Structure 1
Amino acid sequence: MTVLLTNGTVFVDDDLRAQAAEFVQRAQEPGVRGLALVCDDAAPGELAPDLSALVLQVLAGLARGPVSVTALPDELTTTVAAELIGVSRPTLMKLVRDGILPSHQVGSHTRLRTADVLALRRERARERREAFEALLRFDEEFGAD
């Protein structure tokens, strides 16, 4: 059973939480490619990988207990930005001081545009992926068999 409150909060019972846990477990089995949406009057449509990942993360969180989903605001605090990028807050402030990550002041507080933070996050992920691929190529060329 679900109950939707006027403020957008959705409450679910233990049975639905158990169904979520079972679904997440099945979705992690080998051979499962993604999620599909099936409507009564149309052919099934596969969800985009990012949307499938979101739905599975929400269901996995729901299976463990309460979960909250919200959109990112236009501006972030340094603590939230550091967590999104995967660095400590002092490292984030060094990125700001070095001009790698633009910021602005709101009173005495540093704020960062979400778009800038996400762009840096994507760039760092791309750099890590390229470094890993270079390491794999090196290992294939010079690694011991």
Structure 2
Amino acid sequence: MSTSTEIPGGARKAQTYLPEATSREELLDFAELMRELEAYLSQGASRAALVDPDGNARPIPDEIFRILDQVTNTLAAGEGITIIPQGATMTTQQAADFLGVSRPTLVRLLEADDIPYTMPGRHRRVQLEDLVAYQTKFLAERRAALRELHRTSVESKIRVGDPREVKRVTELDAE
């Protein structure tokens, strides 16, 4: 099943593909074929190719092969996938859905200038590239904070998740 959505601010469209229940086995078989093909290709210098009805083979560029692999695995897992052109402009609800946050949370991020936006009329619009940049920055900052937390816990000899260690250190601090 496929649905198309007009992206405000341009003629480009987002396209959503949902797996159909009747094609589940077919998708799983194709996903397995893709895994086997990827394993085979990683051992040698050959590339995957499409073969036309006349038998002419045309190599599949690596980037398209990776996309096909990801789409196949996502659909085989029973999930839908949406393809959005990189230059797309999104509404605040679309942007919030993309980031996996509520619309009010997204609006707070916009008003705090964490994510650039435009207001061509009464409604805010957000560029997909700006959302991706924010997401990349946020994930990098989160990873850095987790590494720092881990480093601090190792230095303090506190094993995360072991309440006896936390209690022992707390008792020592009280003395």
TM-score normalized with structure 1 length: 0.63
- 1:71 matched to 2:84: yes
Gaps of 5+ in 1: 1-9
After superposition, give the CA deviation of every residue in 1:36-84 in whole Å (9 maximum; x if it has no partner).
5345xxxx99946x973x4343112332458454233421111121233
Preserved CA contact (<8 Å) 1:77 1:110: yes
Q: Which has the higher contact order (CA 8 A, sep 6+)?
A: 2
| Partner in structure 1 of residue 55 of structure 2 | none
Structure 1 ranges of 4+ moved more than 4 A: 44-48, 64-69
After superposition, give the CA deviation of every residue in 1:8-63 in whole Å (9 maximum; x if it has no partner).
xx9x9846323134347x57xxxx98x75345xxxx99946x973x4343112332
| Partner in structure 1 of residue 139 of structure 2 | 125
| Partner in structure 2 of residue 22 of structure 1 | 32
Preserved CA contact (<8 Å) 1:21 1:59: yes
Distance 1:132 1:22 in 2: 35
Distance 1:137 1:45 in 2: 44
- 1:90 matched to 2:104: yes
Preserved CA contact (<8 Å) 1:84 1:121: no
| Partner in structure 2 of residue 62 of structure 1 | 75
Preserved CA contact (<8 Å) 2:90 2:128: yes
Identity score, percent: 28
Partner amino acid, structure 2, of 1:102:
P
Distance 1:51 1:112 in 2: 29
The aligned length equals 126
Gaps of 5+ in 2: 1-16, 50-58, 160-175
Q: Secondary structure at the match of 2:114?
A: coil
Distance 1:56 1:98 in 2: 38
Q: Secondary structure at the match of 1:143?
A: coil
Larger CA Rg, structure 1 vs 2: 2
Distance 1:70 1:121 in 2: 17
